[in-house]
A and B are shown apart, each in its own frame.
Chain A
Amino acid sequence: MPKRTDLKKVLMIGSGPVIIGQGCEFDYSGSQACKALLEEGYEVVLINSNPATIMTDPVMAHRTYIEPIIAEIIEKIIARERPDAVLPTLGGQTGLNVAVFLAREGVYERYGVEVLGCDPEGISTAEDREEFKNAILEIGLRVPGSGIAHAVEEGMAVIEEIGLPVIIRPAFTLGGTGGSVAYNMEEAPALLERGLDASPVTEVLVEESVIGWKEIEYEVMRDCADNVVMITSMENVDAMGVHTGDSAVVAPAQTLTADDYARYVDFCKRIIRRIGVKGGGVNIQFAGDPESDDIVVIEVNPRLSRSSALASKATGFPIARVATKLAVGYTLDEVLNNVTGNTYTLQEPTVDYCVYKAARFTFEKFPRAERVINISMKSVGESMSIGRTFKEAFQKGLRSLEIGRYGFGADGKDPKELPDEHAVMQKLAVPNDQRIFYIRYAFKLGLNIEQVYDATKIDPWFLFNLEQLAEFEEEIKAAAGDGGIEAVPKELLLKAKSWGFSDRQLGYLCGCDEWAVRSRRKQLGLRPSYKLVDTCAGETDAQRPYFYSTYEQVDECRASEGKKVIILGGGPNRIGQGIEFDYCCVHAALTVRDEGYEAVMINCNPETVSTDYDTSDRLYFEPMTAEDVLNVVEAEKPYGVILQFGGQTPLNIAADLEANGVPVLGTSSRSIDIAEDRKLFKELLHELGLQQAPNGTATSYEGALALAEQIGYPVLVRPSYVLGGRAMEIVYDDEQLEHFMTEAVEASPERPVLVDKFLEDAVEVDVDAISDGRITVIGAIMEHIEEAGVHSGDSACVIPPQTLSKEICDEIAEQTRALSSALEVVGVMNVQYAVQNGQVYVLEVNPRASRTIPFVSKATGVPLASLATKTMLGHSLEELGLTKEVEIGHVAVKEAVFPFARFPGIDTQLGPEMKSTGEVMGIGPDFGMAFAKAQIAAGQHLPTEGTVFFSLAPGDKTPAAARVAGDFSEMGFRLCATEGTAAWLRDGGLECERVNKVREGRPHIVDRIINNEIALVINTPSGKNPRQDEIAIRSTSWARRIPIITTVRGAVAAVQAVRVLKEADLSVRTLQEYTIDTHGTVPSPRV
């Protein structure tokens, strides 16, 4: 069936900010969908609140709304745009939920809008627990037995029915609090009681336990003619009990017989037909008993998902693109497989390699969080790796994670002494982010596969492979003996490489550095060969050049003779380095191609647009280590390599690349070094006559102590060369400093610690600028909402600045130009300043793309990353038509989004260590509107009535804070506060109720928050060590989704937003309209 011609205008719903469980994979799927719709000639309207996405680039749709993804706003957009249809299946759970809500509210009916992909009924069959259970039973399949209980007796009755063991899941608690597994009738009542207690509604779900079963997933697609294809199977390495987002995953499944496989396929077909997907894909999760043929259906997602992004990259099959085409009426036999270029999409992909996905955790950001993984997802990113064997893919996967490991141990990063068996067994039994390395220790201790299986339930097939690797280390060591790497025979070295051992590991095993291994390899002619990801296992001659490395006979590398530019991606997402950098890399690739060069992308993050099959001319899915990148450089021989856009990842290997003669485009690595090296940087500032907060570097506690004494507390301390404020802290006394020095030295042993005078109550400012080496143009000056001391990635910020004088802004621009010129920047740079008492201090300079580049680009309509790429290729800014800062008539606010709800009990206080996972943008005619929208988009539902709770640190009882309280009171809010703050407010003439602190007896403030008596919490930390009750207030507010503000400046902004929410109506406007206001024109969609 051909595409539908009765549709003209389609509304796409995006997924909003990057949060745990909903990452940048939805930019990948959404961008592909936008492209597919544009390709078919539809008019595309898009809503997404996340400015860091490629999909919200004005060229990806006709009408782009960067607005909060809530029903009220979408209805406004529908009323304004009158689309024929809405496509909600590519925007993650956010898009799906809001789409269902709109259906229930009758919005589609009211405006005559059709839902494409999967109708709301199908969505609700998949999403509603009861409907889902019935649907699955109806088609002859099984879900885990379960029942709801409100009392212990009810729970016991359910257990009678489904048998033990059972999982007890309290309703409406986050992160699995109060949940447990009951194994016998004796312990069950107590565990039920505990669960019921933990649930605010005294309700638990009692569910048949399939913990320890195999977790198998399938990606399935169906068209409107009822044709169904399987895209791939996936097998979780971690057994049931670990969220699939946190589990290591392989594709395809490894331990299923053909008969097992066919049964799963048969089940998938029944399910997708029952759910009624009429044009799109679903993700289906099963649990399979490892000891029988029992299979239960766990979950069905009738939409594009994280797994489907992984499946797309794992097979080369562009699921999102195809899903979109199917949604508008095409059938699978009409959609060409763009990867092969000569088969249609109903040819199921078949692969001839193994794919390994590893999850990237950031527990180090949340030291108070329990370092375990379970059914609630905690990872913030992932890496994917490809090898011809599991062993190869697995080791590449571990070094792709950028956790300082270069493979499965044997890289000099393991503890000198093996942990004892007790410690190892404990780490094996309770899943955690380090477990994989403990499996190696287990084998080193002489434990066998059965023992490790019993503890971990990781399938023995995987364990066998891991054991082989652990044993092979010894073989290498023995072969090297005293002779080092030269003594290792070629065959053995080849085997090591084909099992994924990095040069770094081999160096460690042979007692030399990785460069010695590299030169020995070259001497022996051992280079990687590149194989194609072609969806067909070599059966047809595929056209899309998507490669991975392996060590085999035949190299399929298609490096051309043309002029090429390699762009280094950012690796797995983590806190501090996310989608913003991928956005920049994609722009670089597209621009490089526009400029007539071939773009070659290297990255290992499957969630990204940069690794999409049509972003670059050639894609290498490889770890971002010096070894792997150099191999590609040697195969491709590029004109230049772009390091500026991949965040800290490429900079970490910049020196190694330059030492190996790799031509770097743009700002030199010498300049990068000056900016990152405190001493050199200090000298530079001195030369330029710019001020810095007093500072110094220290390599020991004693040194740091002396410095602190000289500078005076509080001081800001941090390791050098880190991103996202890793281990950065404000330190108020000697004791804290000592504690920090142990932590920090651990965080980065080879680099010294930086000690800065902390500028209290300063306004922080971010500047993004672009330079061609001749002139420097300011992209934007961003004023932070939160004061200096809160990491710039966690602070809200606004363009244009709202409280800075013109003189200060001019001064900042002038300093930025001076720095750019001194560092000979070619490309983009980011500078952070603090403004205190009318004085401008330079905090830091990053001569690379910052995470605000996409925000600035969206706010000002200037594609900074693309222009920067052009300057790196030799264009002048004058040629490019950008010679002065663009001024905008609207206001744009960026707000951060935090993962606190995933880590129960941790302190949510903001500080110099970045904790946010994503961001949103609010745009409006004035600050109040823009900030209000940003808050809504970030999930902070600012109240328009109710009680505001104040608890201010002594230093925060300022006139500004008093005005905030006064404004709330004047708008009809009731005020309450703990003793000190209450007295202060009353002294200021405000009516204020006093509430108990936690230790003052009940009911206290936490009780009041739990009882939903507080609409807004304004709680500024009391400095130094947060008090226990402050932590309780903040974490309880987060868990209850009660908006909480932790800085006075934040409160000042919030009160303006609340006024807008009370008095004005939220209006919507497209990015294209704003761009026309600013520039007079807007680029047309890129087809």
Chain B
Amino acid sequence: MKGAIALEDGRVFEGESFGVEGKKAGEVVFNTSMTGYQEVLTDPSYKGQIVTMTYPLIGNYGVSPDDVESAGPKVEGFVVREYCPYPSNWRSTGSLGDYLVEHGIIAVSGIDTRALTKHIRTAGAMRAVIAAGEFDADNLIAEARSSPGLVGRDLVKEVTCEKSYEWEEGGNASPGAYHVVVYDFGVKWNILRCLSESGCHVTVVPAATRATEALSTTPDGILLSNGPGDPAGVPYVVEEVGELLGKKPVFGICLGHQLLALALGGKTYKLKFGHRGANHPVKELTSGKIDITCQNHGFCVDIESLDQREVEITHINLNDMTLEGMRHKELPVMSVQYHPEGSAGPRDARHLFGKFKEMMLGERERKDD
């Protein structure tokens, strides 16, 4: 079956389908991780996006139920150079192609993904349509042009949980464990695993949960999760985040970090082609220590927009000097733009979960005094 991806600026790349037949619009972005396609596919932050992997050989190790970041793929489409239908890894339970078909995902192989990547790099992430089966290239371009794009759109509501639940996997929680309420904007399960493994009791709540409701469960801390799209698309969340500040320790990751910035009066903007990969060097400014981080974001907090009397810049990206982390000078509030839970990517920054625990401990001690 034929497949293609058509871009709003008229570029069309044709290849072969290895997913389901159909057509879908989304923003086309590239990810530079050399492993971790299943984590990428199931990362809810990719909602609304068609992802191309810069690494050309995809599917090599198949799929495994252990390597998912949510219940199923969230991407709108998947574009690779060469798909391998014969996976090899002892944990593999099946091929990537079968997995994508099972979950109704359109996927195209045989694409000059380097050319596509370079195009996105110079022209910017843009709207596109991925198609498999019978299609007309000109129609696809037209459809790409009339698709909604990401700016200002609420994609969180499409990936957040319907109702709150307790996270059980990898649980280490013992009596007296910290209770963390996780705002699910499209949370990656590895964040929940990391919290759990570090001994926290985790409750996941829908994105639209009122602050009062979240606080009523007497958590030790609140985690604002990652998620897809434009932070400006979810003003109702920003409001609630504002309500949480000063009440409980808050830790924001990725979209959670951006929402926190908005709640603190900052502004966000769209990056030309975003940061998506597993090799981004981030410097912690106080210690000078550098972590190699996993990243996935198309929007970014404007450093200039932050009130630096109130907010301290804690981390910056060494490639483009954009904001990677901040903390409130008075309140137990911190956030990072990158993914301390890794997956797919290095585990350098996992210590941040420890730091979050310290914040919660500090809060408990403060209350005890």
Contacts and interface: CB of A to CB of B under 8 A. Distances in A.
Nearest to A223: B290
B165 interface: no
A269 B292 CA distance: 12
Interface in A259-292: 259-262, 265-266, 269, 290-292
Nearest to B37: A258
A254 B112 contact: no
A552 B55 CA distance: 15
Mostly, the A contact residues are: loop
Given A333-B318, A344-B281, A262 B115 contact: no
A225 B283 CA distance: 12
A460 B344 contact: no
Contacts of B35: 256-258, 260-261
Interface stretch (B84-92, B131-139, B202-210): B84-92
A460 B67 CA distance: 21
Interface string B273-286: 00001111101000
Nearest to A252: B34
Contact of A352 (B36, B90, B117): B117
A464 B86 contact: yes
Interface in B60-91: 60-61, 64, 66-67, 81-82, 84, 86-91
A353 B117 CA distance: 13
Contacts of B277: 350, 537, 539
A2 to B, nearest CB: 13
Contacts of B56: 352-354, 388-389
B64 A226 contact: no
A390 B81 CA distance: 12
Nearest to B85: A464
Contacts of A536: 32
B34 A350 contact: yes
A265 B278 CA distance: 12
B366 interface: no
A349 B66 CA distance: 27
A351 interface: yes
B344 to A, nearest CB: 3
A260 B67 CA distance: 11
Given A347-B319, A350-B54, A461-B60, A332 B290 contact: yes
B66 A259 contact: yes
A265 B347 contact: yes
Interface string A849-868: 00000000000000000000
A200 interface: no
A290 B87 CA distance: 13
B342 interface: yes
Contacts of A261: 34-36, 344
Contact of A537 (B55, B61, B86, B112): B55
A228 B13 CA distance: 38
A25 interface: no
Contacts of B283: 333
A748 interface: no
Mostly, the B contact residues are: loop
Interface string A825-865: 00000000000000000000000000000000000000000
Assign chain A's interface to a size class: 35 or more
Interface string A929-945: 00000000000000000
Contacts of A348: 278-279, 281, 292
B90 A290 contact: yes
Contacts of A914: none
B284 to A, nearest CB: 11
A64 to B, nearest CB: 37
A496 to B, nearest CB: 14
A539 B281 contact: no
B87 A389 contact: no
A229 interface: yes
Assign chain B's interface to a size class: 35 or more
Interface in A340-384: 343-344, 346-354
A1081 interface: no
Given A254-B60, A332-B290, A350 B88 contact: no
Interface string B112-140: 11110110010000000000000000000
B9 to A, nearest CB: 15
B100 to A, nearest CB: 17
B57 interface: yes
Contacts of B281: 333, 344, 346-348
Contact of A346 (B39, B55, B121, B290): B290
A585 B321 CA distance: 41
Contact of B90 (A262, A291, A553): A291
Contacts of A389: 56-57, 81-82
Contacts of A226: 289
A459 B344 CA distance: 23
A539 B274 CA distance: 10
A954 B283 CA distance: 77
Contact of B33 (A258, A354, A464, A553): A258
Contacts of B118: 538, 554, 556
Contacts of B13: 553
Contact of B84 (A347, A388, A461): A461
A348 B32 CA distance: 11
A941 B30 CA distance: 60
A817 interface: no
A460 B61 CA distance: 10
A531 interface: yes
A258 B82 contact: no
Interface in A689-738: none
A292 B67 CA distance: 16
A266 B348 CA distance: 8
Interface in A279-311: 290-292
Chain B CB within 10 Å, residue with most, of A230, A262, A353, A540: A262
Chain B CB within 10 Å, residue with most, of A230, A255, A388, A540: A255
A257 B68 CA distance: 12
Contacts of A124: none
**Which 9 pairs, one residue from A and one from B, show the smallest C-beta to C-beta distance?**
A258-B36, A258-B344, A554-B115, A537-B54, A461-B88, A348-B279, A464-B86, A552-B112, A258-B35
18 contacts: A252-B34, A254-B57, A255-B88, A256-B89, A258-B33, A260-B35, A262-B346, A292-B90, A332-B290, A344-B318, A348-B279, A352-B81, A352-B114, A352-B117, A459-B88, A464-B86, A464-B88, A552-B115
Interface of B: 13, 30, 32-36, 38-39, 54-57, 60-61, 64, 66-67, 81-82, 84, 86-91, 112-115, 117-118, 121, 277-281, 283, 288-290, 292, 318-319, 342-348
